[in-house]
Amino acid sequence: MWSFEHPVYLLILLFVPFFWYFLYTWKGGGGRLAFGFTVWGEQRKVEWDRRVRKFVVLNRILFWLGFCFLVIGAADPTYIHRKKVYLSRAADIMIVLDESPSMSAKDFQPVNRFEAAKQVIKRFIRGRGNDRIGLVAFSKRAALVLPPTSVYGRFYKALDSLRIMELGNGTAIGMGLAVALNHLRTSVATKRIIILLTDGDNNAGEILPETAAEIAYQLGIKIYTIGIGRSGETFIEFRDPKTGRLYQGLYKGNLNVGLLKQIATKSGGRYLFAGDEEGLREVFEKIDSEEKIKRVVKIRMENKSIQGSFIIIAFVFIFLNLFIRKLIFREVI
């Protein structure tokens, strides 16, 4: 939103059209431009061509643009920014995303499971206000991609950087949970939540999912487990990020619903299933509604004067006007 500290100066702009008329249009006005002898020669009348007339008009426009910007600068334009200041502590959430090869299954048309999950996660985060969100990826190994942050642009960038099979061929659910727990255990947020998305069964890693669930219970961290993908054979297609080799074929799902339910129940969370992208959106909407936090927000007004910018622009236009008059038209009067 814009504002002016001294708006009365803007009244001067109302007279600009009248100045233009009396100086350049009115027959009795001073609509002539003085030239030096290098243009006029020995006081002989020179017929202006169209190019010269364009320069004359441009010269006038530059002067009056400079004048207008100078007047606006005198009015002291100020940009007013409304900023939300959250007075209440929000939730700390860790997204734990499976990037094993099976997540490339094409049953979430028009994209695969992995890309659909990333799109829905972004939509979920946009509605979370000032929560801090972190990201863990896992397949055969698990890795922290981004610690909890309230700068969602960083999260989106980190999420977009993930690729299928970057961490090997396998599904280390327990390791993924362990990494997330390690970065939530010291949090003092009102709520600490882990959202696990996977389409398989734990078959790798040194930490069992049941052990991770027990640790989450002891720390008071709730785990939501989300099983995605349809049962039966599904076409998969992915490219190995290390070799660049393309893999295609049929994959038969092996989602361990019992394990995911056990993890969620032990930690006080909930197991949810999504068979397609619409179902995945509904799952996240349920989590969002269940984990809403009452937020106390204050609106702070920040004023930033941009007077200097207008004055600089004004002098640039005026300088260009003088440049044309002195160096192109060689004006001496």
Give 238-288 pLDDT, tens digit per residue: 888 888 899 898 888 789 999 999 999 999 999 999 988 899 999 999 999
Q: Specify whether 170 is located in the same domain as 284.
A: yes
Q: CA-CA distance, 60 to 31, in Å (whole number)? A: 10
Q: DSSP per residue over 66-79, as a string?
A: HHHHHHHHHT-EEE
What sign does the CA torsion over 274, 275, 277, 278 have? negative
Assigned domain for 298 exists = no
Q: Specify whether 102 is located in the same domain as 184.
A: yes
Q: Specify whether 275 is located in the same domain as 159.
A: yes
Residue 39's pLDDT is 47
Q: Specify whether 109 is located in the same domain as 35.
A: no
Assigned domain for 297 exists = no
Residue 48's pLDDT is 47
Quote the number of domains for the chain. 2
Count of CB atoms situated within 10 Å of the CB of 197: 27
Q: Specify whether 159 is located in the same domain as 65.
A: no
- Dihedral of CA atoms 45, 19, 21, 76 in degrees, nearest 10, equals 120
Number of H helices, E strands in the chain: 10, 11
Q: Specify whether 265 is located in the same domain as 121.
A: yes
Q: Specify whether 248 is located in the same domain as 135.
A: yes
pLDDT over 90 percentage in the chain = 45
Q: CA-CA distance, 14 to 19, in Å (whole number)? A: 10
The CATH code of the domain that includes 185 is 3.40.50.410
Assigned domain for 59 exists = yes
Q: Specify whether 187 is located in the same domain as 285.
A: yes
Assigned domain for 145 exists = yes
Assigned domain for 333 exists = no
Q: CA-CA distance, 203 to 216, in Å (whole number)? A: 20
Assigned domain for 192 exists = yes
Domain of residue 323, residue span:
2-80+303-328
pLDDT of 47 strictly over 60: no
Q: CA-CA distance, 136 to 196, in Å (whole number)? A: 9
Q: Specify whether 139 is located in the same domain as 70.
A: no
Q: Specify whether 200 is located in the same domain as 223.
A: yes
Residue 324's pLDDT is 76
Q: CA-CA distance, 272 to 195, in Å (whole number)? A: 10
Mean pLDDT of the chain: 84
